[in-house]
Amino acid sequence: MKSIGKTRGKTLFFWSILLPALIVMLWLTVYPMITVFLTSFQNYNYISGRRRWIGLGNYRNILTDQVFLTSFKNTIVYCFSTTFLEVFLGTALALVFYGNFRGKSIFTILLILPMMLSTMVVSSVWKTLFHYDIGLLNTILSQIGLSRVGWLIDPKMALWSLVLVDVWQWTPFAFIVMQAGLSSIPQEVFEASVVDGATYRQRLFRITLPILRDQILLLCLLRTIDTFKIFSKVFALTGGGPGNATETTSFFVYREAFQYFNLGRSSAASMITLVAVVLMSIFYLRKMLNPREA
């Protein structure tokens, strides 16, 4: 049956249906990445269009630039603290709300609402809530006799306010992922442990959490990937300020390119970001491509 003609036809068919996506990916992602890579070794003046090779100059320049280092630190702090808080709270809630209870599905559906809103909608409402003079949060604080907080204008506070917004929006996601994981563990496992006289703590740390280990890791990865990109929230809520208190790597790349037209520096910062992303993703990639291994 299987003639050579047929095999060749099959190969041709699969190449041709892959082709559109392949072209789009090459055009919109591979080619730009190569350009960014090359530009990162150049002094590129956008206005005159002149390019000059300067070797590692941009990298040296950036890695000693206080603003870049701050933005990188801010991104890491933001990324890890949101991920930690969301996964911790989400897991805790999933444990408390385990099993069936009245109103479970409506409860969960209502919890999904925040993460479906556009970032810009979320940012605007928190901007009103955070407002120093007329915001609800400060009103509550001052009415119970505490002093007002400069949520978005205090350099020590601003980054944590962004964290707060993300935690508000995405903890429900962590909750649902953990709930789904938890509910797919067979009841018998817990019943057996109860029969064997395990205490709640023992069950939690010896049975439940170890079973859910992969689920927790997956969740951490999904949230790290997402929060590492943070741009729109910064743009809408703080503009990177006060000072550089909420400057993130994405914001740095954006500013260098589209406000200062330092395309070489912007590209070098992009490449550093790419390396960070690839390093973070190695584990994820292994997991995703080899589900058997898990």
Q: Which of 256, 173, 181, 249 is nearest to 214 (CA)?
A: 181
User: With binding defined as CB under 8 A, does residue 21 bind another protein?
Assistant: yes
Cis peptide leading into residue 242 (ω within 30°) = yes
How far is it, in rounded angstroms, from Cα 112 to Cα 170? Answer: 9
Contact window for another protein (CB under 8 A) among 50-58, 63-71, 152-160, 183-191: 183-191
HSE toward the beta carbon, residue 186, CA cutoff 13 A: 4
Contact between 111 and 94 (Cβ < 8 Å): no
Binding segment toward another protein, per CB under 8 A, in 52-60, 65-73, 150-158, 252-260? 252-260
How many C-alpha atoms does 144 have within 13 Å on its Cβ side?
Answer: 5
> Of the two residues 157 and 219, which places its CB atom closer to another protein in the complex?
219
| 234 burial type by CB count under 10 A (0-12 exposed, 13-18 middle, 19+ buried) | buried
Of residues 135 through 154, those in contact with another protein by CB under 8 A are 135-136, 139, 143
Contact 43, 263 (CB under 8 A): no
Residue 190 interacting with another protein (CB under 8 A): yes
Task: Check residue 127 for interaction with another protein (CB under 8 A).
Answer: yes
For position 18 contacting another protein by CB under 8 A, the verdict is yes
3-state secondary structure 123-136: HHHHHHHHCCCCCH
- For residue 289, give both structure tokens: 């491509």
Contact residue for another protein among 160, 225, 241, 242 (CB under 8 A): 225
Site track for another protein across 84-123, x = CB under 8 A: ---------x-xxxxx-x-x-x-xxxxxxxx-xxxxxxxx
Q: Indicate whether 228 belongs to the interface with another protein (CB under 8 A).
A: yes
Query: Maximum CA pair distance of the chain?
Result: 85
Tokens of 208: 């439940």
Q: Which of residues 24-53 bind another protein (CB under 8 A)?
A: 24-25, 28-33, 35-36, 39
The one among 158, 172, 244, 268 contacting another protein by CB under 8 A: 172
Cβ closest to another protein, residue 106 vs residue 156: 106
By CB under 8 A, the count of residues binding another protein is 108
Of the residues 59, 250, 265, 268, which one makes contact with another protein according to CB under 8 A: 250
Specify the residue, 81 or 193, whose C-beta has the smaller distance to another protein. 193
The sign of the dihedral angle between the CA atoms of 255, 256, 259, 263 is: negative
Tokens 């350009």, residue located: 35
Name the minimum Å distance from CB 112 to another protein: 6
Identified binder of another protein from the candidate list 77, 141, 185, 198, rule CB under 8 A: 185
For another protein, which stretch binds (CB under 8 A), given 53-61, 79-87, 155-163, 286-294?
Answer: 286-294
234 is an interface residue for another protein by CB under 8 A: no
